Amino acid sequence: MVNRGTEIIGKTFDYTNEDVFPVWVRTELSKPGPYNDKTKQWLMENGLVFCEVVLGNSASDRICRAMYSGGFLGWGDVDNWIGNRGQGAIREAVSAMQALINRLEVCSKWIADFLTTKYRNRQNDEKRFVIKDLGAGCGSYAFRTLDILRSRGEIDLNWIDWQCLEIAEDAICYGTKRLKESPYEGIISFNKCNFLSQDSYPENPDERGDLTLLIGIICAMSVEQSENCLQKIVPHTKEGSSLLITTLSSLAFEENPKMFRVLVNLGWGLQPKTYDEVVNLVNETDWAIKWTGSERRDLRTGAEIPGEYIMVHGVLQ
């Protein structure tokens, strides 16, 4: 597999007309990376997303929180530049941050539809439906999905046991505070652990999941690391259980090369994958693919088209 993160670092683009940056920063960004300390410092001080990346928190839930909140916590002009770039004009190119927002809506609706079907087909004596939300952050997908289900009024939400597993203390604190202010106490829970560590996340036969979520988790993993991740979660899932994966597509770098080049040069180790690469890596594991999709819809017809994220529904064989 081509390491597209390493590849884009070596490319050069002209940032001369990106007037959100001072002239000297535009000059530095137009040079081959990596950037010097002065440039990194300016980017870190003037952009929330850049700051998180430079500090080594590129998977930080704060970035998603900022995008999903609508209030854009700490948002500034540089972050607006990140949020509005649509470089490349391939198909119906949108900004990478808009793709992230679309991912929340599309994934949450898919999960809501999936849970509704499972609820209708459940047995009367069936236990609660366990969701293992791995690397869940502050629980954005849990809250959004339950809001959708609550508005529909078709299922008893207490049937759902949504377990948010996260290692970042600030994300857990934020999610716990939000939970206390929501109608979902007893439905959503937060647990601090590293789900890839046997010591931190030991196998428990009585706590296996019916649905496992890996949303954005393998974006920075190689194919080999991704396969290993998918295999490591198997002991925590029930026979015949389902898995939802979303991961960054190679199309993201094609559509937004200037923005992603800056992020990767600052240290965000993204490894976007092609559709075939994702399908092949899943096929190398114990998961059988049932459906694939993306976060993007054609603005005219509403039909699903390739986007910046690849979604996969797998079932444990």
pLDDT in tens, 1-15: 667 767 787 788 899
The residue among 88 and 69 whose pLDDT is bigger is: 69
126, pLDDT greater than 90: no
User: What backbone phi and psi angles, to 5 degrees, belong to 215?
Assistant: -95, 110
| Alpha carbon distances (Å) from 77 to 38, 83, 300 | 19, 10, 31
Closest CA to 131 of 164, 153, 98, 89: 164
DSSP assignment of 131-185, as one string? EEEET-TTTHHHHHHHHHHHHHT-S-GGGEEEEEEE--HHHHHHHHHHHHTSS-B
What one-character-per-residue DSSP string does 81-128 give?
HHHH--TT--SS---HHHHHHHHHHHHHHHHHHHHHHHHHT--TT--P
Q: What is the pLDDT of residue 87?
A: 39
Whether residue 163 contacts residue 135, with contact meaning beta carbons closer than 8 Å, is answered with no
Measured CA to CA, the distance from residue 79 to residue 238 in angstroms comes to 41
Q: Give the single-character DSSP code of 204.
A: -
pLDDT at 88 over 70: no
pTM over 0.95: no
pLDDT tens-digit series, residues 252-298: 888 888 888 998 888 888 999 999 999 999 999 999 999 999 999 87
- Band of residue 106 on the pLDDT scale cut at 50, 70, 90: very high
The pair of structure tokens assigned to 70 is 């609508």
- How far is Cα 126 from Cα 65, in angstroms, rounded to an integer? 35
Helix residue spans in 160-256 (DSSP H): 169-180, 223-232, 250-255
Predicted confidence at residue 179, as pLDDT, reads 97
Residue 126 to residues 113, 129, 278: CA-CA distances in angstroms?
Answer: 19, 8, 33
Q: Domains in the chain, please, with CATH?
A: 4-84 (no CATH), 96-255+270-316 (3.40.50.150)
Would the pLDDT of 86 be above 60? no
- Judge whether 298 and 102 are in contact, CB under 8 Å: no
Q: How far apart are CA 201 and CA 316, in angstroms?
A: 20
CB atoms within 10 A of CB 204: 9
**Span 305-314, pLDDT tens digits:** 899 999 999 9
- Helix, strand, coil distribution of the chain in percent, nearest 5: 45, 20, 35
- Side-chain half-sphere of 205: how many Cα atoms within 13 Å? 0
CA within 13 Å, CB half, 266: 28
When the pLDDT of each residue in the chain is averaged and rounded to a whole number, the result is: 89
- d(Cα 174, Cα 139) in Å, to the nearest integer? 9
**Residue pLDDT, tens place only, 181-227:** 999 999 999 999 999 888 888 888 888 999 999 999 999 999 999 99
Whole-angstrom distance, CA of residue 305 vs CA of residue 303: 6
DSSP state letter for 34: S
